[in-house]
Chains A and B, each alone.
Chain A
Amino acid sequence: MIILLVDDELELVSAMSERLNLRGIDADYATTWKQALKMAEEKKYDLAVLDVKMPGLSGLELWKLLKKDYPEMKFIFLTGHTSQDDFKAGLNTGHKYLLKPISFDVLLECINRSLSDSPKKEG
């Protein structure tokens, strides 16, 4: 199980990935959408945790790209704030939506649930 964390806040994603790694979950992180796309090409990620608001492409736009190329991929959205429109769009994706700052336990639970919902191909 490999997770890709995408947020423009390096300190956040680095700490988050480290914590996941400590719990034996393989997590990489990217701070720009370009980096994220590049990493997705290189590795097959089971789950992407996307910040909604990022410079350049927003999390939702990035989601559309990733979704197209990697239909198997699961998503969780993070947001520090959201306008009503963003929020509704986020709901429409059908994916979990978490408000920053998130409780780590909640994040773990969401990750587990998202991954267990779908039939796993590998282990």
Chain B
Amino acid sequence: MKIKTLLEKIKPRFWDEANHPDQPGLFNYRRIWKLTVLCVSLVSITPLLVLSFMDYNLSRKAMRAEASFPILRLVSNTTLNVGTFLQEKSSILDFLVHNTEYVNLRSSDYLIDLLSDINASFGGFADLGVINSVGLQTAYAGPFDLEGNDYSREEWFNEVAQKNIYISDVFRGYRDEPHFVIAMKKYLPGNDWFILRATIDTEEFNRLIGSLNVRPSSDLFLINKQGILQTPSAFHGAVLERVRIDLPELDSDSAAWKADDDIDLRGLVECGSTDSSTVTIIESQESQKFLGCSLVEKSPFIVMAVKSQKELMQSWWKMRVELTGFMIISIASILLVILVTATYLVSRIHDADIKRTSALHKIEHTNKMASIGRLAAGVAHEINNPLAVINEKAGLLKDLFAYSDKYSKDDKLISIADSIIHSVERCSAITRRLLGFARHVDVEWKKVRIDSIVRDVLGFLDKEAQYREIQVDIETEGDIPEIVSDQGQLEQIFLNIINNAFAAVEDKGKINILISSYPQHIQVRVADNGCGIPPENLKQIFEPFFTTKGDQGTGLGLSITYGLVKKLGGDLSVESELGKGSAFTVCLSKKFNPAGSPDMNCH
């Protein structure tokens, strides 16, 4: 409701003048305004939107690349380190297998010495075991008594038998400590073979990974291909638990992540980082995290780094807010400027057009009045001369009767002559009025009092007011000074206007006359509570021969009144509401201003 009132207040003048069927010279301003606003908005806002969108995408890409880079580096480094670690352990076993006699290795004592030696040199080995080709552990060095264990049914045994080298997942085993196994196969002469198996302490493994992960907010750990945690994770579960992240399925052949419908892989960026590893960066929209994964070659381990998007993308989000805010402010200000400018310009055009048409209208009206005036004057003149002759002849006739003895007593003849003279007088009154309409022959400038003239005029109409019980109120506002004008013409003006008011009101109606003094002019407002004037008639009301009274009116009354007021340098205006009444306002300049253009506006 409030918005509606506000809109009503700021609504430009041309808004409700959308169509001028009666004034073909005027445009549909609302349409012009709409078109202008639409076109200018389109050409100015569209490029802004396109550029902003492009900038948004570019920035987003750049920011994401920047955000994913540390993960890439971390994962790549870790993969390299883990690979080196495993390589080192495998190399030790490889060395032992190839440089130690099988006979020696079959002895547990020798193995115990060997274990203590390599632990002293390299560290990280929990136990050593030798298993023959049927799966029997023939020698063992370590904290448990595992000698004689049969591994022929174990899966890893079959795998090492096929692949020659095997690195196991991390498991708890007998010691209930997370550890993993590296096993290596060695052929003996005579197609026999044996396996050297070593358990690697994950302690060192974990330390290595911990030392690589320097940021406390990110999480770095290993998982196996089934998604089981191999090293402790800070946020995503304990060792040997399933990692608490939704992962796409790993294609074990290509060591690459398959696209999974469950996870939004929109941000999947593949980056070849090192010769040995391929790092996959996944931006998970769901969990708001960046994942970096890489398979460690020749091992079941996958290095995984997880970083919260929030931390990485914080600057991007800030920038995004700024970018969006800037765009919204820009669009709002562009729209505001367009709206204000368009409204201003169209208003100016509208006002200029209105002024132009009203000036044209006025000129037309003046021309009309002038030609009617000329016509009337011509007619009056042509008639006046023969009238004068009739007048004189009739007068002479009357004189001749009056001065003759024979007819001087003949009242009938005298009265006939008198009636001719009287009729001529009536005709001459008509022609004078017509001449007065065209130009006011009898203008007699002298000091007059408007209020007393109005009262005098009301005196003429007293009888009618009493008879019809019309209430006529006359009020004065301020001190009404004398002005220089023409008494007779003013009487005519007020008589016409008040007469019209009498004609407009019903019996027992009301007429209110207000005479007020303004600095520049005196204003007389005659308001009635009569029938009012329809808006379509209001425009033509001062035009000559415009009448609504049919045969009873000449259509000259108000037109003559208007001409008279103008002649006296005044202004006449009318306002009316159908059914409620009309008000005619006469403004008369206080300055002596004969026939000049009115220098004031009627209120």
CB nearest neighbor in B for A87: B441
Interface of B is mostly: helix
* CB-based contact B439/A19 at 8 Å: no
* CB-based contact B396/A81 at 8 Å: no
The count of chain B contact residues (Cβ–Cβ below 8 Å) is: 25
- Chain A residues, Cβ within 8 Å of B427: 101
* CB-based contact B439/A84 at 8 Å: yes
Contact of A9 among B385, B396, B399 (CB under 8 A): B385
Interface string of A55-97 (1 = CB under 8 A from B): 0000000000000000000000010111110010000000000
The count of chain A contact residues (Cβ–Cβ below 8 Å) is: 22
- Chain B residues, Cβ within 8 Å of A83: 439
Interface string of B397-430 (1 = CB under 8 A from A): 0011001000000000000000000001101100
A16 at the interface (CB under 8 A from B): yes
* CB-based contact A22/B424 at 8 Å: no
* CB-based contact B393/A15 at 8 Å: yes
Q: How far is the CB of A103 from the nearest CB of chain B, in Å?
A: 7
Interface string of A17-28 (1 = CB under 8 A from B): 011001100000
* CB-based contact B380/A101 at 8 Å: no
Known: A80-B381, A81-B380. A19 touches B392 (CB 8 A): yes
A100 at the interface (CB under 8 A from B): yes
* CB-based contact B395/A104 at 8 Å: yes
* CB-based contact B384/A22 at 8 Å: no
Q: How far is the CB of A47 from the nearest CB of chain B, in Å?
A: 18
Which residues of A in the span 5-58 have a Cβ within 8 Å of any Cβ on B?
9, 11-12, 15-16, 18-19, 22-23
A2 at the interface (CB under 8 A from B): no
Q: Give Cα A99 to B403, complex, Å.
A: 27
B321 at the interface (CB under 8 A from A): no
Q: Give Cα A59 to B428, complex, Å.
A: 22
* CB-based contact B395/A19 at 8 Å: yes
Quick one: which of B377, B384, B390, B441 has the most chain A CB within 10 A?
B441
B391 at the interface (CB under 8 A from A): yes
Which residues of A in the span 94-112 have a Cβ within 8 Å of any Cβ on B?
99-104
- Chain B residues, Cβ within 8 Å of A23: 399
- Which residues of A pack against B, CB within 8 Å? 9, 11-12, 15-16, 18-19, 22-23, 78, 80-84, 87, 99-104
- 9 cross-chain pairs, A with B, having the tightest CB-CB distances, nearest first: A81-B381, A80-B384, A15-B392, A101-B391, A100-B388, A101-B388, A15-B396, A101-B387, A80-B385
5 new A-B contacts, CB < 8 A, other than A11-B393, A22-B400, A80-B385, are A11-B389, A22-B399, A81-B435, A101-B384, A104-B395
